[in-house]
């Protein structure tokens, strides 16, 4: 990773009892490069650090009050071949409320992801996204992003 160039990052903010209990700032490229590696699996599912006592696994810290995932789903689904049904199930484990942005195939960033590969993602649609997330969440609010093709959802876990 070239640190002289701006790097896209995403934030994972975990709220509990109205207070922030953890903030992760993760370089998106680092996260995606290691998505299937033991490193990422350990951070999500296992305790880490000395004697597995210093840092509880991300999933075990929850449920968080609110999880926010903006500009992320297309990287998981298209960039890393994860089915939307698995993404929905994963987010359901993390928190009570979810703020998530759906980025459609017509968006310029998704077009970049698809420019160098065949579009085999037949289930990557807003309709399927809503269908899969409805299995775990109640839709509270849905808002189109101004001057964009994207939509932000506020969900409450069922």
Cβ partners under 8 Å of residue 5, min gap 6: none
Domain containing 151: what range? Answer: 9-157
Structural domain contains residue 4: no
The average pLDDT across 104-115 equals 95
Q: What is the pLDDT of residues 6-32, one digit of tens each?
A: 445 555 555 555 555 455 544 444 455
Cβ partners under 8 Å of residue 79, min gap 6: 32, 113
Cα torsion through 45, 98, 68, 29, rounded to 10: 50
Count up the domains in the chain and report the number. 1
Structural domain contains residue 2: no
Percent over 90 (pLDDT), the chain: 45
Structural domain contains residue 1: no
- For every residue of 100-130, DSSP letters joined together read EEE--TTSHHHHHHHTTS----TT-SHHHHH
Structural domain contains residue 108: yes
Percent over 70 (pLDDT), the chain: 61
In this structure, the number of other CB atoms found within 10 A of the CB of residue 25 comes to: 9
CATH code: domain of residue 64: 3.40.50
Structural domain contains residue 33: yes
* pTM attached to this predicted model: 0.70
Structural domain contains residue 110: yes
* pLDDT band with cut points at 50, 70 and 90 for residue 53: low
Report the mean per-residue pLDDT for the chain.
77
Q: What is the pLDDT of residues 56-91, one digit of tens each?
A: 666 676 677 888 888 889 988 998 889 999 999 989
Structural domain contains residue 127: yes
């Amino acid at each position: 990773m070239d640190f002289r160039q701006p790097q896209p990052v995403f934030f994972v903010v975990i709220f509990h009892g109205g207070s922030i209990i953890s903030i992760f700032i993760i370089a998106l490229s680092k996260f995606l490069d290691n998505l299937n590696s033991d490193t990422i699996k350990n951070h999500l599912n296992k305790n880490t650090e000395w004697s597995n006592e210093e840092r509880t696994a991300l999933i075990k810290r929850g449920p968080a009050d609110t999880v926010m995932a903006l500009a992320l789903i297309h990287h998981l689904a298209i960039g890393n071949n994860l089915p939307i049904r698995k993404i929905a199930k994963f987010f359901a484990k993390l928190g009570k409320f979810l703020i998530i942005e759906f980025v459609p195939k017509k968006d310029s960033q998704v077009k970049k992801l698809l420019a160098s590969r065949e579009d085999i993602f037949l289930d990557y649609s807003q309709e399927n996204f809503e269908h899969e997330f409805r299995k775990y969440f109640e839709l509270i609010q849905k808002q189109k992003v101004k001057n964009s093709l994207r939509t932000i959802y506020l969900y409450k876990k069922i």
